[in-house]
Chain A
Amino acid sequence: MAMTKQRAHVLPQGMTMSEVLDPGVASTAAAGTDRPLPSPPPPSRAGSSPAALATALLGAAALAGCGGGAGLNAPPVTAGSGPAPAPAPSAPQPTQAQAARFLGQAGFAANSTDMGTITSTGYQRWLDNQFAMAVVKPSAWSWVQAQAVKNTQAYLDFSIWRRLISSPDQLRQRVVLALSEIFVISTGQLNGVTDPASLAAAFWDTLEQNAFGTFRQLLQAVSLSGAMGSFLNMRGSIKVNPKTGGQPDENYAREVMQLFTIGLVQLNPDGTSKLDANKKEIYTYAQEQVTAFAAVLTGWNFDLAKGVAQADDPGFATRPMVNDPTKFSTGDKDVLGTAIPASVDGPTALGMALDVLSNHPNNGPFVGRQLIQHLVSSNPSPAYVSRVSAVFNNNGKGVRGDMRAVINAVLMDPEARTAPQGLANGKLREPIVRFVQWARTFGLASPEGLWDIGNLSDPGSRLGQSPLRAPSVFNFFAPDYVPSNSKLGDNAITAPEFQIYTETTVAGYLNFMQSVIQYGLGGGTSGSVTGSKSSCTPNYAGELTYASDPASLVARYNLLLAGGGLGADTIATITDAVTNVKVDSTNPNPGLNNRVWAAIFLVMAAPDYLIQQ
């Protein structure tokens, strides 16, 4: 605690948090690492080592990004510059591999522009740029509305894949994906809705709009979203009805506490459970408190005028639910010991309840640890969780629950920025993230603009995971999952994503990627609704140049896909295989294409790719 408090108050006057965090973290991250010299465009690839080559390959792009990048308000800071109005980092900028590794945590893909920004101006500048980006239009909901056919769930899938793959704000998209796996809704399980695709798309927009605001704002936006109201039944929950015997529905009251805000047991700031005198966990609430809280969450429904059908006012999906005073519970109420007097109305009571939940000491470790697990590593140290909790409690300016600051702290923590050593470090990249990384890295495009990539949930033939389609509010995997009968189980190592890594999904993923890498998808190959040939195709035009030199090809994908994380044995195995893919000198392109596909496929199958360090 002492350490975290110190950190929370360490901001010198007049300095932004990013200015403070960047140099300190950069010095930690860069310690003991090689930094390539500012890279002149290489004359040729011949004779280059893989690492140097990879650096060189992106050199031109890096310089372009540094020179002409929109939104850069300050010149790049170079190592060794003296005291200046803007604080100078005391450490070198990230290497290409470090930048790629960072983008695997903070985004999806290591595209050349983002790599250039990071290698020339540092992680923090890239984060600041990303945080500053406005939500990209048209939103997921607006896009669905613009389609000729709307009321099929497939358009939800199309709309979200479009956001994840083509939206330039990759930090926001990555964070929203993580938030969608904490504040879970499931498109196929929205109750009493005529157009689930639109309602679910609007939920994605809600997360986008609130991802970088405060936790309190995010919590309220989620709680009053039509999708959450429909999924967890707060919509339509009404006061005790003596005629029907009806009681307020307890579902949202329970899950908003258990899964979205505080969890079941009291936590220390470092994420470990508090224990009582008998060494037992201490519950945060009991059944009676769920029942009492349920009375507070009554009277809510979609914002639709009386008698107006959902289809006649589709904009209701974008509006918070509204409270009907005649259906709001009467009498005094209580939320975890905080009294809510009978005199306050439904919206005020909800606000008071959310104040209680968002000021609980569990928030920081509960939410912070899950964000770390989604973005960085499955087993963060208690000290790391503690540092993030401290930022949750106070962003340095006295603001609690500043999600931008929390996300910044998650990504800029020394434990995130230092490539970890150790047998149990890292995390399994989740299938959606692998697929979106591939799509972004190789410019998957939908010329018709339909993005008809369907529901990829099938475990035996697709990803076994698809956005906004978790099987329940408990997400695709649990944050505390430990696989049994394994190295991880023997050592009690948490590995959430392993819950969906099975004998079936390993085959489903490989088969899916083998096809998709070569042919693209949509339009009949993968859950689309139209057409007979792939409508979404990758663009490998720029890749073929590298394919004549298998070592450089593999080095390129080691950097772009694996963040430089492949071991020498893996690189050798893949390079040998790619070398053996024949290229006909008179008609080289088919062979070169084969090499590109093979190299991508094998990298994306490799254990040292799948486990992100």
Chain B
Amino acid sequence: MHIGKTTDLQRREFLRRAMIMSGYGLAAPLVSTLGLVGAASAAGTPTDYRALVCVFLYGGNDYGNTLIPYDQPSYDAYSAIRLTLATARDQLAGTVLKPSVALPNSRVMALAPTLAPLMPIFNAGHLAVMLNVGNLVQPTTLAQYKANTVPLPPRLFSHADQQTEWQTSGPSSVITGWGGRIADLVMGANTYPTFSSVNVTSNAVFMAGKKANQYQMSSSGPVAINGLSRTIYGSSSVPSALRALITSPRNQWLEQDINAIASRSIDAQATSSAALAAVPPFATPFDSTNSLAKQLQTVARMIAARKALGAGRQVFFVSMGGFDLHDSLAAKQPGLLAGLASALSSFHDTTVELGVANQVTSFTASDFGRTLSSNGDGADHGWGSHHLVMGGAVNGGRFYGVAPDVSVNGPDDVGQGRLLPTTGVDQLASTLGKWMGVSDTDITTVVPQISNYSTRNLGFMTA
């Protein structure tokens, strides 16, 4: 578990191993694409391990049926607005949340019935519910929104733009995300900087840093390039030619960048597959038919291999899609949430099994929430939404933030139940970044807009 400074010895060892793995010694082009760590790091040199896992729900998860008002007056209001989309109250008995800190005004909330696998984690205090989080530039009141007197996130209600906004905490032109920027600041804790930001699903700007690359592996782990390791087409000269072609430095920028990616693919696969192969199977089962569970299982295997990989601070990214339910919301969302709950509970149980539950924090994110009002069979693009934060270091079993009024065109929405967020994504990011070891000074590098808020730490992490 102890990961100290990268020593000269480690550095030499790394070089030696890299040469062995790349198979042909010093002539290897771009041999050090995994990079080496500078001894001095702004984040200091932590001696423990911490991992942050972003679970992105693509399409905009419907908040209204994820966390359902349960006290009778609120439920009645919910039911009157949602009509055919409403979940029946008697189905909620098993998922009514009993938080350690009660909500004001006798409000009671229940998780969607298919999120039931998360109840034990909530009740154990390892799952917190973030109420009405969303993209903001600064704290914004409904009056300010209506009068257009404060800056707002650009391109509200658009999928791609609000995904980008969530992930970058900045305008769409920004090409780094706050996960990657956290990785930039904590990568000094890692022997291999490449494994500071590991994406187990498709490309996401969240994971891109200024220094940290988002390293992508498949949901079943790193993929080897077969043509490099064997005689192919009856020849051993083809593999060496292939290696030279795809790893040589190039002058042309596009060519240079694809060769950098190929080089990183080769080096990182060689390093991580060896480490992963040594990880014993987990006792905790993962649903092999569940894509998110498969991704999180691979994340868990990377975490299990942290010592072999010399990892001290890592950011991971996983995702599931299908949440853009303009149609068939009541029919389809329960199944999606069941898949989410299954995957999250398997992952949490595995971190307990590995003895790292206190060192791994996962959180959900999504494009936006949806309208509370129905379009007949679904709900349309909204803004604020409720989210989950999970892990042994989470001060869970309770809510954070403000429970929105259950209404349309009420005090908390900008129309049709599109929530005006009362907690900014920047505040969530700042709290998580601090837990990862980012200093109070550096946090403005991670989320520049945090300077617009008086509360930088939402208090949901225990340390």
Contact = CB atoms under 8 A, between A and B. Distances in A.
Interface of A: 189, 191-192, 232-233, 236-238, 241, 244-251, 254, 258, 264, 281, 283, 287, 290-291, 378, 423-428, 459-461, 471-474, 478, 480, 482-489, 491, 493, 495, 498-504, 506-508, 510-511, 514, 518, 569-570, 573-574, 576-577, 580-582, 590-591, 594-595, 597-598, 601-602, 605-608, 610-611
Contacts of A246: 83, 374-377
B245 A607 contact: yes
Given A423-B252, A484-B180, A485-B213, 13 more contacts: A425-B254, A482-B175, A484-B205, A493-B253, A504-B217, A506-B261, A510-B225, A511-B225, A577-B240, A580-B235, A601-B227, A605-B242, A605-B245
Interface in B148-205: 154-161, 172, 175-176, 180, 202-203, 205
B215 A484 contact: no
Contacts of B265: 502-504, 506-507
Nearest to A471: B321
Contacts of A610: 255, 258
Contacts of B412: none
14 contacts: A246-B83, A247-B416, A250-B380, A426-B252, A471-B58, A484-B175, A484-B213, A498-B257, A506-B265, A510-B226, A510-B246, A577-B241, A598-B232, A610-B258
A179 B160 CA distance: 19
A511 B223 contact: yes
A502 B216 contact: yes
B241 A602 contact: yes
B342 interface: no
Interface string B231-257: 011110110111011101011111111
B158 A233 contact: no
Given A482-B175, A581-B233, A507 B254 contact: no
Contacts of A590: 234
Contacts of A428: 254, 258
Instruction: Indicate the size class of the contact surface on chain B.
Output: 35 or more
Among B241, B242, B268, B373: residue with most chain A CB under 10 A: B241
B321 A472 contact: yes
A601 B255 contact: no
B206 to A, nearest CB: 11
A573 B156 CA distance: 51
Given A248-B375, A576-B237, A485 B212 contact: yes
Contacts of B213: 484-485
B328 A484 contact: no
A432 B217 CA distance: 21
A153 B241 CA distance: 39
B327 A192 contact: yes
B203 A502 contact: yes
B196 to A, nearest CB: 12
Interface string B62-91: 000000000000000000011110000000
Among A461, A506, A580: residue with most chain B CB under 10 A: A506
Nearest to B254: A611
B235 A254 contact: no
A292 B234 CA distance: 65
A310 to B, nearest CB: 16
Among A248, A291, A493, A502: residue with most chain B CB under 10 A: A502
B226 A485 contact: no
Smallest CB-CB A-B distances: 10 pairs: A246-B376, A577-B241, A460-B218, A484-B208, A580-B237, A503-B265, A607-B255, A487-B253, A507-B223, A502-B216
Interface string B439-451: 0000000000000
A497 to B, nearest CB: 10
A247 B327 contact: no
A598 B218 contact: no
A577 B268 CA distance: 26
Given A258-B158, A287-B415, A491-B253, A573 B244 contact: yes
B220 A460 contact: yes
Contact of B159 (A378, A472, A491, A605): A472
B246 A250 contact: no
B310 interface: no
B392 interface: no
Contacts of B212: 485
Contacts of B125: none
Contacts of A249: 326-327, 375-376, 378, 380
A246 B255 CA distance: 52
A54 B220 CA distance: 44
B262 interface: yes
A447 B251 CA distance: 44
Given A500-B202, A514-B226, A605-B246, A506 B157 contact: no
B259 interface: yes
A518 B378 CA distance: 49
B253 A577 contact: no
A293 B326 CA distance: 16
B59 interface: yes
A611 B252 contact: yes
A243 B266 CA distance: 60
A594 B235 CA distance: 8
A504 B217 CA distance: 5
Given A426-B254, A478-B160, A503-B264, A594 B375 contact: no
A589 to B, nearest CB: 12
Given A500-B202, A607-B250, A611-B255, A573 B380 contact: no
Nearest to B259: A607
Given A484-B180, A503-B222, A504-B218, A247 B376 contact: yes
B30 to A, nearest CB: 12
A351 B375 CA distance: 23
Contacts of A502: 202-203, 216, 261, 265
Among A254, A493, A607: residue with most chain B CB under 10 A: A607
Contacts of B2: none
Contacts of A510: 225-227, 242, 246
Contacts of A580: 235, 237
B241 A573 contact: yes
B404 to A, nearest CB: 18
A295 to B, nearest CB: 12
A470 to B, nearest CB: 11
B324 interface: yes
A580 B233 CA distance: 11
B209 interface: yes
Contacts of B219: 460
B179 to A, nearest CB: 12
B278 interface: no
A264 B234 contact: no
B43 to A, nearest CB: 18
B211 interface: yes
Contacts of B28: none
Contact of B235 (A472, A484, A501, A577): A577
B235 A581 contact: yes
A569 B241 CA distance: 11
Among B208, B212, B226, B380: residue with most chain A CB under 10 A: B380
B369 to A, nearest CB: 14
Nearest to A287: B157
Contacts of B259: 607
